Structure 1
């Protein structure tokens, strides 16, 4: 295939995948804390992938069925895939996954979510008992917060620019 057969201007960043310990904890957290919506569940041989996204990113399909949303999944941006390897939720020896922010294995850092009102979002996270890595009033960068998801992944919270 020659390079003229594809147009990089049409490429989209579609999704990021996190491995999770327990979907019964992680999925409700992403739905209730961040407002995402699970629209697809894809079981494999010994794992299940769950696909979540903000409903507004589906455009006129925001109120569509999960099957209709799955049909447009690869044509949108901002999808989060949560991969549950079966058995981790009940394994007492499972130590969790590396977030990428600790040694050894530093590499991956975080995903970022923009919100309409940072102060109100922080207050809401407090009310929901969300654990913070960094609050806006801490450190030099007063315009951002970092929260932890149930598996210890960092999520940066930024105010949308109007």
Structure 2
């Protein structure tokens, strides 16, 4: 169905996942995945972190990143409920891929070369759910973030011959 005049300006802005330890998650998403922290908002008992890929070659100031976070696509919001990082009884969050809690499945990032990206992830000690050599779909991979959320690694173009 074609977009209507009423929905022509709509865009997918962000998705949110809960994280146990923001220091660990922020390091993973910025240093391993390569996202940029757009903003951080502390609300007392929880903090929100907004991340996205910086396609401006570093041209945006911190103020511009914060002001435009709802005007761009592909933003990841990490929500940290304070205290989970130091609570030994905290069992973590459901990643959505097993019962109970099946529902949410994964996020995905696009890379130029899946094999090269996965070699880098391996060197950095990232856990895999599926390597490109596993299974029938050899053009994709799944890695796990520190909280066990699945991240699909996909090429910019896929041909199904």
1:160 aligns with 2:156: yes
Q: Which runs of 5+ in 2 are unaligned?
A: none
User: Given the two structures, how large is their TM-score scaled by the length of structure 1?
Assistant: 0.91
Segment of structure 1 superposing worse, 67-76 or 120-129: 67-76
Greater percentage in helix: 1
When the two chains are superposed, the root-mean-square deviation of aligned CA atoms in Å is 1.5
Runs ≥4 in structure 1, deviation > 6 angstroms? none
Q: Which runs of 5+ in 1 are unaligned?
A: none
Does the CA contact (< 8 Å) of 2:19 and 2:25 recur in 1? Answer: yes
Matches within 5 A, 1:1-16: 7-16=6-15
For 1:120 and 1:101, how far apart are their aligned partners in 2? 26
3-state SS in 2 of match to 1:8: coil
Residue of structure 2 in register with 1:40 after alignment = 39
1:120 aligns with 2:116: yes
Deviation string 1:75-124 (CA, Å, 9 cap, x unpaired) is 11000000000000000000000000010110000001000111110100
Deviation string 1:106-148 (CA, Å, 9 cap, x unpaired) is 0000001000111110100010000000001100111100000
Does the CA contact (< 8 Å) of 2:107 and 2:151 recur in 1? Answer: yes
User: Given the two structures, how large is their TM-score scaled by the length of structure 2?
Assistant: 0.92
Question: What is the aligned residue count?
Answer: 155
For 1:123 and 1:93, how far apart are their aligned partners in 2? 35
Deviation string 1:2-35 (CA, Å, 9 cap, x unpaired) is xx9x721110100010100001100010011110
